[in-house]
Structure 1
C-alpha cells in the first residue's frame, strides 16, 4: 500500500495527496497515518519533490472534502427521521427518540469543539460528520472547523514524516495501534451503555 501511495503522489503530486485523503475518510483501511507522513517525506530535503506547506494544504482540503458524504447523509436523515427511527427500531439498542433529541441538543452546544478536536482523533475523525449533519450544523461552520482540525492533524503528520525522513513509517506504527485502541474502547463503552440501559429498564418495569 505504501508503494502505491508513493507512486500516486510521485505521479500526481498535491492532487494525489488530495485524492488519497478523500479516500481515507471513506475507506478507513487507507489511514492518514500512512498518507501524510509519506507526503511529508516527499517534501523533505532528502526528496525535495514537494513543498511541505502545499502538502499540508492538499491533505487538509482532501480530508474536508472526504467528510462531506457522511455529513450529507446525516443532513438528509435529519433529527426527525433519526428520532422516529429510534422510537420504532431502537429498542434492541435501548436507544429512544428522547436520547436522539438529547444528543442533538448536546451537539448543538458543543458541536464546533467536537468537530475541531475530533478531526485530530484517529478512529473517529470521519464518524463525527454524521452527527454534525443530523444536528443540522450549518455547512460553512462545519467546513471551517473541519478544515482547522484537519489542518492541524495533517500538519502534525506531515511534519513527522518531514523530520523523520526515511523512517516516516514509524508514525503509523505508533498512531495506527492508537486508533484501534480508541475504536475498541468506544465499542466496549457502547456495549456497557446498552447493558446498563437494559438493567435500568428491567428495574423500572
Structure 2
C-alpha cells in the first residue's frame, strides 16, 4: 500500500478473495489507516478495494462456470452422506434466492469468497452477480475501511471483533453440519428396519 498506493490495497483484497486465509478484516482497516496517513485518499481506498473484490469474485464465478452444474453435481454426490436430491434442492434454492445470497454472502466471513462458486456453477446472470457483489462488497469495505480510518494507529483493535464474528459463523456452520450428519445417519439406520418390517408383514 505504501509503494503503489490504492492499487496495492485492491491487490490485497483481490488475493483475499482467492485465498481466504488472507483476511479482509485485517487488510481493510489497514487500508483505512494508510488513507489517514495520506498514502492515498479515503475514496481511493474504497474504490480500489471494491474493484479488487469484484475481480476476485469474477475469477471464482468463472471457475464455477467452467466446472458447470453437472460436474459439481457429480463431485458433490460422491461425498459420503450427500445425495443427488440434496444437490437438486440446493440448486432450486439458489435459483430462488441467488441475488440475496450473493449480496449478503459478501458480508459474511468464510462465505465472502465461496458464494461466487455456486453463482458461476448455476450461471447466475452475470450483470446481476456483478451488481450484488459490488453492493455487498461496498458495504463491507466501507465499514472496515472507515473503522481503520477513524481508529488511526489503533486500527488493529478491529481484528478481535471480526475474529469473534468468524468464530460465531464457524460455530453455526459446524452445528448445521453436525445436525445434517446426525439426521442423515439416523435416516439411513432406520431404513433397513422399515424395509425389514415391511417384508415381514
Give the structure-2-normalised TM-score.
0.89
Query: SS at 2:113's partner residue?
Result: coil
Look up the match of 1:43: 35
Look up the match of 1:111: 98
What is the CA–CA distance in structure 1 between the aligned matches of 2:188 and 2:67, rounded to whole Å?
28
| Residue 61 of structure 2 is aligned to residue 71 of structure 1 | yes
Higher-Rg member (1/2): 2
| Residue 82 of structure 2 is aligned to residue 98 of structure 1 | no
Query: SS at 1:186's partner residue?
Result: helix
Query: SS at 1:168's partner residue?
Result: helix
Query: SS at 2:63's partner residue?
Result: helix
Look up the match of 1:146: 133
Structure 2 matches for 1:1-205, cutoff 5 A?
Answer: 9-44=1-36, 47-87=37-77, 89-90=78-79, 92=80, 94-205=81-192
Deviation at 1:28, TM superposition (A): 2.1
What is the CA–CA distance in structure 1 between the aligned matches of 2:167 and 2:190, rounded to whole Å?
35
Deviation at 1:124, TM superposition (A): 1.3
Query: SS at 1:55's partner residue?
Result: helix
Q: 1:24 to 1:134 in 2, by over 3 A?
A: same
Look up the match of 2:197: none
Gaps of 5+ in 2: 193-201
> 1:79–1:100: 8 Å Cα contact kept in structure 2?
no
Q: 1:96 to 1:170 in 2, by over 3 A?
A: same
Moved more, 185-194 or 156-165: 185-194
Q: How big is the alpha-carbon RMSD for the aligned residues of Structure 1 and Structure 2?
A: 1.5
Deviation at 1:118, TM superposition (A): 0.9
Q: Work out the number of aligned pairs and report it.
A: 192
Q: 1:86 to 1:25 in 2, by over 3 A?
A: closer
Moved more, 174-183 or 120-129: 174-183
What is the CA–CA distance in structure 1 between the aligned matches of 2:104 and 2:25, rounded to whole Å?
17
Residues 140-187 of structure 1 show CA distances to partners (whole Å, capped at 9, x for unaligned) of 211111111001100000000111111111111210232133124313
Give the structure-1-normalised TM-score.
0.87
